[in-house]
A and B are shown apart, each in its own frame.
Chain A
Amino acid sequence: MTIATEGVAASAATPSVLLTGITKRYGSVVACNDVNLALHPGRIHGVLGENGAGKSTLMKILIGLIQPDEGSIVINGGTVRISDPVAASNLGIAMVHQHYSLVEPLTVWENVVLGERVRLDRAAACARVAALSDRYGLGVDPLARVSDLTAGQRQRVEIIKCLRREPRIIVFDEPTSVLTPAESEQLFSVLRVVVVDEGRTVALVSHKLDEILHATDEITIMRGGRVVGHSPTSAATASSLAQAVVGRPVSLRSEAAALGLIETVAAAIGDSDAPEGVPDAVVIEAAPVVLEVRNARVLDVDGHPLLDDFSITVRAGEIVGLAGVEGNGQRALADMLSSLLDLESGSVLVSGEEVDLSRPGALGRVGIGIIPEDRHDSGCVLDLSVAENLALTDLGAVSTGGLLDRRAIERRARELMQAFDIQARSPHAPMRSLSGGNQQRVVLARELSANPKVLIAAQPTRGLDVGAIEYMSARLRAAAEAGVGILLISTELEEVLTLSHRICVIHAGQIVGEMSRHDANLERLGMLIGGMAA
């Protein structure tokens, strides 16, 4: 609210997109509340806000995945109703999606022409992909199979797929979350070409202050479903934006990671006053090793290695951050440590004892807790109640002679719900009815209440808002202080840098570098993450 709103409207002629009074409700929750937004050709417009601020809902309305309850959409001067993605496409609106929009078993060209209506013509499609690839310097092979590509390459395919219809309006949804720092840079230079040379309209949706400040021309800030600020980028500063995003004065230092301020995080590393709760490196080096993975090799169904000669150790009370771009084996590692995948070769030792991973729940029994990357996949059971989810891994404590003690289950649930501040109607509410943040807390509560020796936290803050991110970080720190060894698997470099005592970098299923927090420097980390020796 502190940001000036004048000066922008005058800078451009007719907006290519004008959203007025957009409101979308889900039951009692208002995802978008009377939102106004104007996008102009030839400009990159940043839409900034934390998770749950309503920016994704707004963009989904723009590309026809969601219908607004109220409000009007004007595209190039004409009022329209965008009923589905095809309608959006016909209006020249396209979106580069964050996830899940490529079909892995298909080739690049097949993916690119997906959803078109014209006859399938392989030669023409390949030629077009190659031409687009050249024009923007993307280096994409039209005949490659998508399942063989890295996350960064896949996003370039997404961009080609989006640009193939020469859209006038392009939405980028959290585009850097799967990119290495170098790839992000390249992306922003492509964006410049698209906007400046070709006069298109670009909306860049992000929760990261850094990239919004770095890559956009003007900024709209959303919070709690409303637009709370709007300004030209040149007039914005990190602190003014941060305050608008969170809705209260914030310390950039302490919340830098949650806000996506990598530079601030990096600057803090060298300082003498480390964040609270980070014990002395010397103390940790003397602590016993609680988790050791030795030369692990894990294969996918087709026999390709997901992890190859992967080794890592975690000591009691230590937070080890595993940095790396998505799709380099992190998922396989977390699955392996949940005893969902068996080792082809190598071993996993907990407190020096080797564990047989082929037995379901083997690692849980010997003291490894896990917060999985996708909690719906392997963290909780959506169709069971909160209380049942909390009891899931420790039925022995709530049963006698094979009979469930329902009062004990409920008592335990109430305790944990209070201790971890889980918001639910009752312990018997279905897990499905909880918000993402509360589901995550249920998983955290269950795993920590088992008093684990090691906690694996895979992308623990993904999709959470700033408050929930802070809560999660504080919990992880507290657990480490209490002597739990923590393996933090994260693609958010800011998060890894803020929380970890030691940082390892994973690339193509292997550890390619390791450094203590004090020696970390952004440049070297960036190179390691990109797979370059450094």
Chain B
Amino acid sequence: MTAAANVTETPVVRAPSAAAQRLRTVFRSLPVLAQYLISIAVALTLCGILVEVTGGSASKVMSALLDGSVRSPGAWGLTLSTAAPLLVVAAGTIVAAKAGLSNIGQEGQLLLGCAATAFIGTRADLPAPMVIVLSFLGAMVLSGMWAGLAALMKFTRKVPEVMSTLLLGFVAAQLTTFGLTRKWLLLATNNTSRVNNGEPLPDRAKMPTFTLFGNEVSWGVIIALVVTILISFVLRRTTIGFRLRALGHNSRTARRAGVSAAIVGGGALVVSGAAAGLAGGLWMTGGSAGDRFTTNVSSNIGWQGLLVALLARDRASLAIPMAFVFAALRTGSSFLAATGVDRRITDVVQAMLVLALLVPPAIASVQRRRRPRGGSA
């Protein structure tokens, strides 16, 4: 962007920019894999520097993270189980993204899903699998409707869904806090704690586990995989998925071809909300979240699931390993106390990874799209 023949700028100002330009040219000429590796290395190095500057040891942190997530006994089973809700959130986010819509209110939608699961799970007097099915359905309906509000506002009043989904998240937080003040909603009947807590979930409302190579793995992992594969299949192989993708890529052509943005796009938002609700159900019943509903039970699962989708660049197949990586950072962070480094360093690592991995595809996409088509024969 610098001008060689441009006489109005002084060379002093231009020099660093020219160097940056050269650096960029070199970076672009590298193979894609090298670009990714360099980006990740830069991100992790920055995180390492952050740890060192604040008096920690980057290598100890790394080691603790690995112990907590995969190396210690039973760890990877826990990591897999934690990955399940992340993956489901991501899968739902991908549905909305493919339709060209940005749902960023998963945290609130997931919280409502947790609330619905807790409400139904503590009350429904049904045999084991039915309670779970019913509570998950309730979670999906409630969260789906919550996202549906955003869809309604978008397609009747043109309220940007980026804003509405997020702001509705704050309202959802207040709603569940309110629920925790009323015994007929979420508050435990014999709450003795100073903070309001929910009723503990009975065992029949908890997700069962199976044992795999000595690790306890939640059945939620299977549910998450099935949901992800199903969503991927619908998007690729069905007419509704085709319409949705067409809408996401070019809404005007899609409308001309008979795709209703309100129905298909609104539906995609509702599905992404319902997925966040289901993830809430998985999280609530999976054990890691504790056994009862609290105001901060969702603990960033929604945000992290969203990051997984961003990191996977809206591809379901990539979301699966990414969800595992994020889950590993989460479970690994519980081992950080021993190193004296605050566990929230893993939040930083997650965000830095996403930022780093944005760079190579962005550059590639610009290059691909910039290359003009040949003669117009």
A377, B256: Cα distance in complex, Å: 11
**How does the 8 Å CB contact mask read for B1-23 relative to A, with 1 for contact and 0 for none?**
11111111000000000000000
Tell me whether A83 is interfacial, beta carbon within 8 Å. Answer: yes
**How does the 8 Å CB contact mask read for B245-289 relative to A, with 1 for contact and 0 for none?**
110011011111111110000000000000000000000000000
Cβ A465 vs Cβ B256 within 8 A: no
List, in ascending order, chain A residues with CB within 8 A of B256's CB. 338-340, 360-361, 364, 370, 372, 378-379, 393
Report which residue of B240, B253, B254 has the largest number of chain A beta carbons within 10 angstroms of its beta carbon. B253
A91, B5: Cα distance in complex, Å: 9
Selected from A26, A360, A402, the residue in CB contact (under 8 A) with B374 is A26
A403-B238 in contact given A436-B373, A468-B377 (Cβ < 8 Å): yes
Tell me whether A392 is interfacial, beta carbon within 8 Å. Answer: yes
Cβ A393 vs Cβ B4 within 8 A: no
Report which residue of A117, A224, A395, A406 has the largest number of chain B beta carbons within 10 angstroms of its beta carbon. A395
Tell me whether A250 is interfacial, beta carbon within 8 Å. Answer: no
Selected from A224, A360, A388, the residue in CB contact (under 8 A) with B255 is A360
A393, B254: Cα distance in complex, Å: 9
Stretch at the interface among A36-44, A427-435, A496-504: A427-435
A43 to chain B, nearest CB (A): 25
A29, B5: Cα distance in complex, Å: 28
A87-B239 in contact given A29-B375, A434-B373 (Cβ < 8 Å): no
Cβ B6 vs Cβ A381 within 8 A: no
Please provide the chain B residues from 338 to 377 with a CB less than 8 Å away from any CB of chain A in the complex.
Answer: 369, 371-377
Tell me whether B219 is interfacial, beta carbon within 8 Å. Answer: no
Bin chain A's interface residue count.
35 or more
Cβ B371 vs Cβ A26 within 8 A: yes
List, in ascending order, chain A residues with CB within 8 A of B252's CB. 340, 377-378
Selected from B245, B253, B376, the residue in CB contact (under 8 A) with A378 is B253
Cβ A465 vs Cβ B249 within 8 A: no
Tell me whether A365 is interfacial, beta carbon within 8 Å. Answer: yes
Tell me whether A51 is interfacial, beta carbon within 8 Å. Answer: yes
List, in ascending order, chain B residues with CB within 8 A of A436's CB. 373, 376
List, in ascending order, chain B residues with CB within 8 A of A299's CB. none
Cβ B376 vs Cβ A404 within 8 A: no
Tell me whether B242 is interfacial, beta carbon within 8 Å. Answer: yes
Whose C-beta in chain A lies nearest to the C-beta of B369?
Answer: A432
A314 to chain B, nearest CB (A): 19
Tell me whether B243 is interfacial, beta carbon within 8 Å. Answer: yes
Selected from B5, B243, B371, the residue in CB contact (under 8 A) with A395 is B243
A338 to chain B, nearest CB (A): 4
Cβ B257 vs Cβ A404 within 8 A: no
Cβ A361 vs Cβ B5 within 8 A: no
Give the number of A-B contacts (CB < 8 Å): 140
Cβ A87 vs Cβ B242 within 8 A: no
Tell me whether B194 is interfacial, beta carbon within 8 Å. Answer: no
A339, B238: Cα distance in complex, Å: 24
A80-B376 in contact given A360-B258, A361-B256, A395-B239 (Cβ < 8 Å): no
A423-B6 in contact given A26-B371, A360-B259 (Cβ < 8 Å): no
A225, B374: Cα distance in complex, Å: 11
Cβ B376 vs Cβ A437 within 8 A: yes
B270 to chain A, nearest CB (A): 18
Cβ B242 vs Cβ A395 within 8 A: yes
Selected from A80, A365, A381, A438, the residue in CB contact (under 8 A) with B246 is A381
Tell me whether A7 is interfacial, beta carbon within 8 Å. Answer: no
A377, B255: Cα distance in complex, Å: 11
**How does the 8 Å CB contact mask read for A61-102 relative to B, with 1 for contact and 0 for none?**
000000000000000000011111011001100000000000
Whose C-beta in chain B lies nearest to the C-beta of A359?
Answer: B260
Cβ A465 vs Cβ B3 within 8 A: no
Cβ A90 vs Cβ B7 within 8 A: yes
> How many residues on the B side are at the interface (Cβ–Cβ under 8 A)?
36
Cβ A381 vs Cβ B376 within 8 A: no
Please provide the chain B residues from 1 to 59 with a CB less than 8 Å away from any CB of chain A in the complex.
Answer: 1-8
List, in ascending order, chain B residues with CB within 8 A of A51's CB. 376
Please provide the chain A residues from 13 to 42 with a CB less than 8 Å away from any CB of chain B in the complex.
Answer: 26-29, 31
A52, B372: Cα distance in complex, Å: 12
List, in ascending order, chain B residues with CB within 8 A of A423's CB. 377
Tell me whether A247 is interfacial, beta carbon within 8 Å. Answer: no
Cβ A224 vs Cβ B375 within 8 A: yes
Tell me whether B237 is interfacial, beta carbon within 8 Å. Answer: yes
**How does the 8 Å CB contact mask read for B142-163 relative to A, with 1 for contact and 0 for none?**
0000000000000000000000
Selected from A82, A364, A382, the residue in CB contact (under 8 A) with B258 is A364
A81-B259 in contact given A403-B238, A437-B376 (Cβ < 8 Å): no
List, in ascending order, chain A residues with CB within 8 A of B373's CB. 432-436
Cβ A87 vs Cβ B246 within 8 A: no
Report which residue of A28, A378, A438 has the largest number of chain B beta carbons within 10 angstroms of its beta carbon. A378
A360-B260 in contact given A27-B371, A381-B254, A404-B238 (Cβ < 8 Å): yes
B249 to chain A, nearest CB (A): 4
Whose C-beta in chain A lies nearest to the C-beta of B255?
Answer: A360
List, in ascending order, chain A residues with CB within 8 A of B3's CB. 83-84, 86-87
Tell me whether A380 is interfacial, beta carbon within 8 Å. Answer: yes
**How does the 8 Å CB contact mask read for A318-362 relative to B, with 1 for contact and 0 for none?**
000000000000000000001110000000000000000001111
Whose C-beta in chain B lies nearest to the C-beta of A399?
Answer: B239
Selected from B5, B255, B377, the residue in CB contact (under 8 A) with A87 is B5
Selected from B8, B239, B372, the residue in CB contact (under 8 A) with A404 is B239
Cβ B257 vs Cβ A392 within 8 A: yes
List, in ascending order, chain B residues with CB within 8 A of A339's CB. 255-256
Cβ B376 vs Cβ A83 within 8 A: no
A456, B243: Cα distance in complex, Å: 23
Tell me whether A270 is interfacial, beta carbon within 8 Å. Answer: no
Cβ A81 vs Cβ B246 within 8 A: no
A224, B374: Cα distance in complex, Å: 11
Whose C-beta in chain B lies nearest to the C-beta of A380?
Answer: B253
A382-B238 in contact given A360-B261, A463-B376 (Cβ < 8 Å): no
Tell me whether A104 is interfacial, beta carbon within 8 Å. Answer: no
Cβ B253 vs Cβ A404 within 8 A: no
Tell me whether A384 is interfacial, beta carbon within 8 Å. Answer: yes
**How does the 8 Å CB contact mask read for B307-328 relative to A, with 1 for contact and 0 for none?**
0000000000000000000000
A407 to chain B, nearest CB (A): 12
Whose C-beta in chain B lies nearest to the C-beta of A393?
Answer: B257
List, in ascending order, chain B residues with CB within 8 A of A467's CB. 377
A388, B245: Cα distance in complex, Å: 11
Please provide the chain A residues from 460 to 474 with a CB less than 8 Å away from any CB of chain B in the complex.
Answer: 463-465, 467-468
A86 to chain B, nearest CB (A): 5
Tell me whether A285 is interfacial, beta carbon within 8 Å. Answer: no
Please provide the chain A residues from 389 to 434 with a CB less than 8 Å away from any CB of chain B in the complex.
Answer: 391-393, 395, 399, 402-404, 406, 423, 432-434
Cβ A340 vs Cβ B255 within 8 A: yes
A512, B278: Cα distance in complex, Å: 61
List, in ascending order, chain A residues with CB within 8 A of B257's CB. 361, 364, 392-393
A276 to chain B, nearest CB (A): 24
A binding-site residues for B, Cβ under 8 Å: 26-29, 31, 51-52, 80-84, 86-87, 90-91, 117, 224-225, 338-340, 359-362, 364-365, 370, 372, 377-384, 388, 391-393, 395, 399, 402-404, 406, 423, 432-438, 463-465, 467-468
Given contacts A402-B238, A465-B377, 19 further A-B contacts (CB under 8 A): A27-B371, A28-B374, A29-B375, A52-B375, A90-B5, A340-B255, A361-B256, A361-B257, A361-B259, A378-B250, A382-B250, A383-B249, A395-B243, A399-B238, A399-B239, A403-B237, A404-B238, A433-B373, A437-B376
Q: List 14 A-B contacts (CB under 8 A).
A: A29-B375, A86-B3, A87-B4, A225-B375, A339-B255, A361-B259, A364-B256, A365-B258, A384-B246, A392-B246, A392-B253, A393-B258, A395-B239, A434-B373
Closest 6 interchain pairs by CB? Answer: A361-B258, A87-B5, A29-B374, A436-B376, A378-B252, A52-B375
